[in-house]
Amino acid sequence: MSSCASANLQSTSRRSMVDYLREEAAVEPDPVATGAPKKETQIIAIYGKGGIGKSFTLANLSYMMAQQGKRTLLIGCDPKSDTTSLLFGGRACPTIIETSSKKKLAGEDVKIGDVCFKRDGVFAMELGGPEVGRGCGGRGIIHGFELLEKLGFHEWGFDYVLLDFLGDVVCGGFGLPIARDMCQKVIVVGSNDLQSLYVANNVCSAVEYFRKLGGNVGVAGMVINKDDGTGEAHAFCGEVGIPVLAAIPAHEDIRRKSANYEIIGKPGGQWSALFEGLAENVAQAPPVRPTPLTQDGLLGLFKGEAVGRGVELQPASIEDMCGGTVQNKPSLEVVYETV
């Protein structure tokens, strides 16, 4: 091809690209949405201190929702993989991470029936996590959600997806739903003790932090578990600005049935009204922007004798650290004279 022909071809190519860019720029953008963002599926992340009763609450809540005709999916996102144990009468179901590893070694693909199981209308699965000392639990959460996306997570037709997250851990993997707007709202489970409210306050702080960065996730409220009537959790909710969605009493019947892996959130049972009300509140409570407390503000919810206020912080000295008199030792540092 002659140099003249080559130049003409390049000129034509440049004109074509310029015309294309002009045509693209002339297209008016879609109008900005003015209404509240809506999704057909409500994705709700539930956080709380380990052992506070998240799994107990979620098993009974999801069961009641299913009995009310709502398509509900419960996903355990705790490395202990015990979210669904109460729902399935104490039986453990295969985790997504473990199943994926086995299938990969066998050269097979993971199917829904390998990791998702159901009982009386409730669908449930466990993400799982690494063995103790052999990996990062937060990274396992991220990997688990990547697998869920490959299984078509965003195409599933559920009314509610409940995510059970450990609130004690503050690494990025466990904050995934808040940081990436993967859920519309967060619910915290707490009790009338300082540690569980400390975790709840941390979750509220995380929500507030990402709201400042442009996030949309809010806190729908708190479920008070093992409520003994002392009132600290109610006071916390009032200070932070979130509603109490339900207060589950510290009752021996509840403790005993929970220990025996029995569902108490059944229509017509002794505790049906409690979980019917919780299901309604969870569905309707709007996500709000909380006002997290300072450490002193959190301690102020409790009586002084309960949290050790009035104790002074006494600075330690080098003598204290060495257990007696400190000997001044010559420095081994080499000092070079400048010329």
- Which phi and psi angles does 206 have, rounded to 5°? -65, -45
Judged by phi (left if over 0) then psi (alpha if -120 to 50, else beta), residue 266 lies in beta
> Which residues, in sequence order, are bridge partners of residue 160?
42, 72
Ranges of H-type helices in the chain = 3-26, 54-67, 96-105, 112-115, 137-150, 176-179, 194-212, 232-240, 252-259, 272-284, 295-299, 304-307, 318-322
Residue 201's nearest CA partner among 285, 61, 299 is: 299
Cα angle 122-127-130, degrees, rounded to a multiple of 5: 150
Which residues are identified as catalytic? 49, 54, 80, 168
Say what the alpha-carbon torsion angle 264, 268, 274, 280 is, to the nearest 10 degrees: 110
CA distances from 57 to 96, 162, 211, 246, 308 (A): 22, 11, 27, 10, 31
Bridge-based pairing state of the strands 185-190 and 42-48: parallel
What is the rounded CA–CA span in Å between residue 195 and residue 222? 15
Neighbours of 209 (CB within 10 A): 14
Q: How far is CA 306 from the centre of its chain?
A: 29
263, 59 Cβ separation under 8 angstroms: yes
What is the rounded CA–CA span in Å between residue 102 and residue 203? 34
Structure tokens at 137: 């639990």
Angle between helices 137-150 and 96-105 (to 10 degrees): 70
